[in-house]
Amino acid sequence: MNNMFNLDGKVALITGGAGVLGGQMGEVLAAFGVNVGIMGLSMSEADLVTNKIVANGGKAFSVVANVLDKDSLEILRDEIIEKYGKLDILINAAGGNMPGATIAPDKAIYDMLTDDLQKVLNLNIIGTMLPSQVFSEIFAKQKQGIIINISSASATRPLTRVVGYSASKAAVDNFTKWMAVEMASKFGEGIRVNAIAPGFFIGEQNRALLLNPDGSLTPRGEKILSQTPMGRFGIPEDLSGTLIWLCSDASKFVTGISVNVDGGFGVSSI
């Protein structure tokens, strides 16, 4: 029972590991004894997180690959196996939104930019599917492995304006369920696929949408908090407990679910 949350000696890879949420996940896993691969589009951005983890006594390594480039992912997969001999955890934290795939208050659906919509769909769903496809080959051979996708509160409760982001995160939820069945039924119970669905966390992409320059709430921010029973935005540390639970044997009979970490936003009827 005491070893239920033990992750010591595991090897993890975090796509989007240089981002705010991905970086925090890397720090948490490292604190539990995981050797964490921080994946970025450049070595310099990955090193910012890796160096912080190492400075705090953890194990981490920086890698470069593009979640939309299968060849670069396959090269990285082979390098990880050659150097570390295994991969235990894949966290698909890469994702995001673009203004052109968002409907501004003075615009309508017919004003949306098709190219930006396609980029958002690619980044969030293809950028989750391709790493899962490539690195699941390791898990299939090992007969064990953990995949954690990053969904969103907007996947099941579509938000006004962010049409591309909401649609792509709904697709992540669907893919998580599909992949869970695919891996467990073909390769055994040691491979589990789940998702974490954060609510509203302040990041560089949404800061101006939720907060004014002086830190006060925008009308959008006020509306969101009015429908969040806990009355605040999330902070990266709020994801830590759910992350460790899903990565460890504490959830060894759990697969195919998406866990809301949203302060109650998804069940609010305010």
- 8 Å CB contact between 249 and 192: no
Please tell me the predicted confidence (pLDDT) of residue 88: 98
Please tell me the predicted confidence (pLDDT) of residue 203: 76
Please tell me the predicted confidence (pLDDT) of residue 3: 87
- Would you state the structure tokens that stand for residue 25, as one six-digit string? 């996940």
Please tell me the predicted confidence (pLDDT) of residue 1: 55
Please tell me the predicted confidence (pLDDT) of residue 90: 98
Please tell me the predicted confidence (pLDDT) of residue 2: 66
Please tell me the predicted confidence (pLDDT) of residue 80: 98
pLDDT by position in tens, the chain (length 270): 568 999 999 999 999 999 989 999 999 999 999 999 999 999 999 999 999 999 999 999 999 999 999 999 999 999 999 999 999 999 999 999 888 888 888 889 999 999 999 999 999 999 999 999 999 999 999 999 999 999 999 898 888 888 999 999 999 999 999 999 999 999 999 999 999 999 998 877 778 778 999 989 998 899 999 999 999 999 989 999 999 999 999 999 999 999 999 999 998 875
Q: Is 84 a catalytic residue?
A: no
Please tell me the predicted confidence (pLDDT) of residue 197: 96
Please tell me the predicted confidence (pLDDT) of residue 130: 98
pTM: predicted TM-score of the whole model, two decimal places? 0.94
Please tell me the predicted confidence (pLDDT) of residue 105: 84
**Given 135, 165, 200, 201, the catalytic residue:** 165
